């Protein structure tokens, strides 16, 4: 990844001679992923993945790659890592994931899993899967919508009992089309900001009765639960923003995966991580990369 400096001017205090910035400004690439949506029990749709915004490799929802931020040294900037949405219990919708933030960039939490009767999915960074219940259900119910340039919609549901897949950052959640069936979660997208390609923000699989464990999308999406044999829905993977899998009424669902904030900046700089944040820093080529996995607080550079 190329280091991007601004037009030559004064030498920034504390940096090696020859490293020059324009009035103390420098460029920061970022990956910001919101928390994934929690699972719902009782024929639940899959939870949506957290919204994904990135300046490297690809960004969510098929949007154009975002631009690096121009930040000033010795200035505090907010970082928040969104928690995954919770699984609350039987007959209750999954909770929406929390937002992740870096400076002016906010990625929305994924939609919580929806439970019936015959309802469209919730909206979120990526949308939640729709859910149907009644043995005599008819019609098609839409998956929840996604935040623009962050993710994709959840899958729809038709006929009786079961849920559509949660949307992912890279694909729409699968549609539930057969009786007592579920659907797969939408795939996430791979981003190389850490120096390796890692996939984030997969949607959760929808719950089913028929014994098929409908898989969550690539990038940490949880698998949908089933009725016979009884399989619980599984949680989204931590620090991917993956949505939780929905479940059938005789099993339990799980939580959405927490989000992540990853920043890449010139190696000549030193980051200060404020209280309340959990973060680690490594060197990747000519850049340093700091990964935040929990908390909220401020960061600055010198």
Residues with Cβ within 8 Å of 256's Cβ and at least 6 positions away in sequence, in order, are 35, 36, 37, 38, 39, 47, 50, 84, 85, 86, 94, 95, 97, 109, 110, 112, 204, 222, 235, 236, 241, 242, 243, 244
Domain residue spans in the chain? 34-69+76-261
Per-residue pLDDT of the chain (302 residues; tens, 9 = 90+): 333 444 333 333 333 433 445 578 999 999 999 999 998 777 788 999 999 999 999 999 999 999 999 999 999 999 999 999 998 877 678 899 999 999 999 999 999 887 665 567 899 999 999 888 766 556 788 999 999 999 999 999 887 778 899 999 999 999 998 888 899 999 999 999 999 999 999 999 998 888 777 999 999 999 998 888 888 889 999 999 999 998 877 677 789 999 999 999 999 999 999 999 999 999 999 999 999 999 999 999 99
The end-to-end CA distance of the chain, in Å, is 21
pLDDT at residue 22, as a whole number: 52
Q: Could you give the count of Cα atoms lying within 13 Å of 128 in the half-sphere of its Cβ?
A: 38
Residue 98 neighbours by CB under 8 Å, 6+ apart? 34, 35, 80, 82, 83, 84, 85, 109, 259
d(CA 43, CA 83): 24
Tens digit of each residue's pLDDT (9 = 90 or more) over 48-104: 999 999 999 999 999 999 999 999 999 999 999 999 999 887 767 889 999 999 999
């Amino acid at each position: 990844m190329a280091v991007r400096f601004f037009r030559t001017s004064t030498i920034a205090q504390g940096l090696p001679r020859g490293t020059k910035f324009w009035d103390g400004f420098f460029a920061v690439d970022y990956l910001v992923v919101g928390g994934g949506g929690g699972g719902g029990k009782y024929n639940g749709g899959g939870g949506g993945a957290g919204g994904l915004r990135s300046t490297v490799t690809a960004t969510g929802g098929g949007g154009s790659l975002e631009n690096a931020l121009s930040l000033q040294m010795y200035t505090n900037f907010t970082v928040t890592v969104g928690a995954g949405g919770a699984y609350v219990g039987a007959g209750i919708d999954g909770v929406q994931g929390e937002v992740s933030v870096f400076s002016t960039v906010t990625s929305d939490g994924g939609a919580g899993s929806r439970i019936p009767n015959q309802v469209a999915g919730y909206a979120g960074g990526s949308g939640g899967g729709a859910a149907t219940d009644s043995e005599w259900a008819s019609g098609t119910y839409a998956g929840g919508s996604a935040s623009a340039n962050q993710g994709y919609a959840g899958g729809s549901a038709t006929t009786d009992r079961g849920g559509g897949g949660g949307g992912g950052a890279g694909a729409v959640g699968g549609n539930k089309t057969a009786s007592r069936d579920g659907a797969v979660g939408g795939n996430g997208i791979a981003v190389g900001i850490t120096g390796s390609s890692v996939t984030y923000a997969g949607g959760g699989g929808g719950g089913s009765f028929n014994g098929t464990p409908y898989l969550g999308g690539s990038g940490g999406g949880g698998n949908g639960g089933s009725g016979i044999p009884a399989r619980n829905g599984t949680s989204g993977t931590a620090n991917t923003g993956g949505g939780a899998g929905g479940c059938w009424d005789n099993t339990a669902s799980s939580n959405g995966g927490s989000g992540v904030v990853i920043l890449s900046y010139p190696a000549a700089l030193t980051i200060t991580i404020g209280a309340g944040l959990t973060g680690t820093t490594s060197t990747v080529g000519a850049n340093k990369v700091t990964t935040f996995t929990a908390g909220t607080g401020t960061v600055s550079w010198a």
